[in-house]
């Protein structure tokens, strides 16, 4: 600890006058092309690949719309820097085209990102305030219009109940092809761990540690909520023998035995198969390779079809169906949000609850209030 004497003996801090005089000795030089490119790369790379792709699409559409809004002089709106009235008119245009809230908010975010990344990098440009009250009012007006039209209900993907999962699991086991064995393992992974499709695709055999007959430890290297790759751990415990239809541990072991018979280009956990279910898709070198995100949805569709479940209707089966299933059944079984979020890895309760499709009747609190 510093004594009073030591503090008193410390050299004085430089005065503001000294700092001002020192700073006056330096002036910023102009950025070179390579330096601007480096800055642009790091600004863009701060977002995920999917976000960058979506923003690029939205920005191109905005630029095209601005150019099409020509007056008698042949001039349209200027997309960059964008004026507040221009953005409000674009929101109105998207609303008139029948786009939903998510699409419009993504478009505004894309336009905001371009301005945020490029303001002050180009001569004579500066960022506009996207928190301007007029922009907020335009978005609120759009949401209010949708609510009045009854179009604000979010369509959620199809989720499965316990009987349906049991039927799908058994149907995969009966088929007995390599594809069906892999599908069963993926199905039970999704409904037990609630993984996102991107996380399933990224899984490597080295990311799973089988804990004897007790369960499986799964390492998620990075995810939507962990884009800097700090890593997260999920443990899926093994189940009692009478619950074998839901046991991911046994399904995984069976699939890994099949997987050993295929030469694999990398350590991808799941492989794609050709029609018939036993011949793996091969790359240019004639070696099996991993799956795509679309393959997760296709897997669930195959599982449902084998069990004779309805695959059409208002709710469609998607790669998120497994995640919705895990969370919904968790709430129906009386698990609290903290327990569920440790597996789903949601950062907020509000986000977690959007996945809950459990029965509103089973969620009734009246019985518990008066027991």
* Count of CB atoms situated within 10 Å of the CB of 257: 10
- Give the pLDDT score at 4: 44
Residue 271 — pLDDT band, cuts 50, 70, 90? very high
Determine the average pLDDT of the residues in 190-211: 94
**Least trusted range by pLDDT, from 33-47, 67-81, 93-107, 242-256:** 33-47
Determine the average pLDDT of the residues in 49-76: 89
pLDDT tens digits, one per residue of 170-186:
999 999 999 999 999 99
Greater pLDDT, 211 or 72 = 211
Question: What domains appear along the chain, each with residue ranges and CATH number?
Answer: 33-148 (1.10.150.130), 162-353 (1.10.443.10)
- Give the pLDDT score at 328: 93
- Give the pLDDT score at 131: 63
| Whether pLDDT at 325 is above 90 | yes
pLDDT tens digits, one per residue of 123-180:
554 555 556 777 778 778 877 877 777 665 567 899 999 999 999 999 999 999 999 9
| Whether pLDDT at 17 is above 90 | no
**Residues 274-282: contacts with CB under 8 Å, at least 24 apart:** 276/177, 277/175, 277/177, 277/178, 277/179, 277/180, 278/177, 278/178, 278/179, 280/178
The 3-state secondary structure of the chain, one letter per residue: CCCHHHHHHCCCCCCHHHHHHHHCCCCCCCCCHHHHHHHHHHHHHCCCHHHHHHHHHHHHHHHHHHHHCCCCCCCCCCCCCCCHHHHHHHHHHHHHCCCCHHHHHHHHHHHHHHHHHHCCCCCCCCCCCCCCHHHHHHHHHHHHHHHHCCCCCCCCCCCCCHHHHHHHHHHHHHHCCHHHHHHHHHHHHHHHHCCCHHHHHHCEHHHEEEECCCEEEEEECCECCECCCCCEEEEEECCCHHHHHHCHHHHHHHHHHHHCCCCECCCECCCCECCCCCCECECCCCCECCCCCHHHHHHHHHHHHHCCCCCCCCCCCCCCHHHHHHHHHHHHCCCCHHHHHHHHCCCCHHHHHCCCCCCCCCCCCHHHHHC
pLDDT tens digits, one per residue of 283-315:
888 888 889 999 999 999 999 999 999 877 667
- Give the pLDDT score at 255: 97
- Averaged pLDDT score across all residues of the chain: 84
Determine the average pLDDT of the residues in 82-109: 86
| Whether pLDDT at 21 is above 70 | no
Any idea of the CA torsion for 80, 37, 47, 290, to the nearest 10 degrees? 130
Q: Are 80 and 114 in contact (CB under 8 A)?
A: yes
């Amino acid at each position: 600890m510093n004594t009073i004497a030591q503090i008193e003996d410390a050299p004085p801090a430089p005065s503001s006058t000294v700092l001002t005089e020192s700073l006056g000795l330096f002036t910023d030089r102009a950025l070179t092309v390579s330096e601007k490119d480096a800055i642009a790369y790091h600004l863009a790379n701060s977002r995920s690949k999917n976000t960058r792709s979506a923003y690029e699409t939205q920005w191109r559409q905005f630029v095209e719309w601005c150019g099409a809004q020509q007056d008698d002089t042949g001039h349209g709106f200027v997309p960059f820097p964008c004026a507040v009235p221009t953005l409000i008119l674009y929101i109105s245009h998207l609303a008139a085209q029948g786009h939903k809230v998510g699409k419009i908010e993504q478009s505004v975010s894309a336009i905001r990102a371009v301005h945020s990344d490029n303001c002050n990098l180009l001569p004579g440009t500066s960022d506009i305030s996207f928190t301007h009250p007029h922009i907020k009012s335009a978005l609120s007006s759009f949401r209010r219009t949708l609510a009045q039209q009854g179009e604000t209900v979010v369509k959620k993907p199809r989720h499965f109940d316990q009987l349906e999962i049991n039927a799908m699991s058994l149907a995969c086991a009966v088929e007995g092809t390599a594809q069906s064995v892999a599908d069963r393992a993926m199905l039970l992974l999704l409904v037990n761990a609630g993984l996102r499709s991107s996380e399933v695709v990224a899984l490597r055999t080295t990311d799973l540690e089988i804990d004897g007959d007790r369960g499986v430890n799964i390492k998620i290297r990075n995810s939507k909520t962990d884009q800097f790759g700090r890593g997260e751990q999920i443990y899926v415990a093994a189940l009692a023998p009478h619950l074998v239809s839901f046991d991911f541990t046994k399904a995984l072991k069976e699939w890994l035995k099949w997987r050993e018979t295929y030469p694999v280009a990398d350590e991808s956990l799941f492989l794609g198969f050709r029609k018939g279910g036993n011949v793996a898709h091969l790359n240019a070198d004639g070696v099996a390779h991993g799956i795509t995100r679309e393959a997760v949805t296709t897997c669930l569709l195959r599982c449902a079809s084998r069990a004779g479940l309805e695959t059409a209707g208002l709710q469609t089966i998607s790669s998120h169906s497994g995640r919705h299933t895990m969370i919904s059944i968790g709430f129906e079984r009386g698990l609290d949000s903290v327990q569920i979020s440790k597996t789903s890895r949601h950062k907020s309760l509000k986000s977690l609850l959007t996945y809950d499709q459990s029965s509103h009747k089973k969620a009734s609190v009246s019985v518990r209030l008066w027991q």
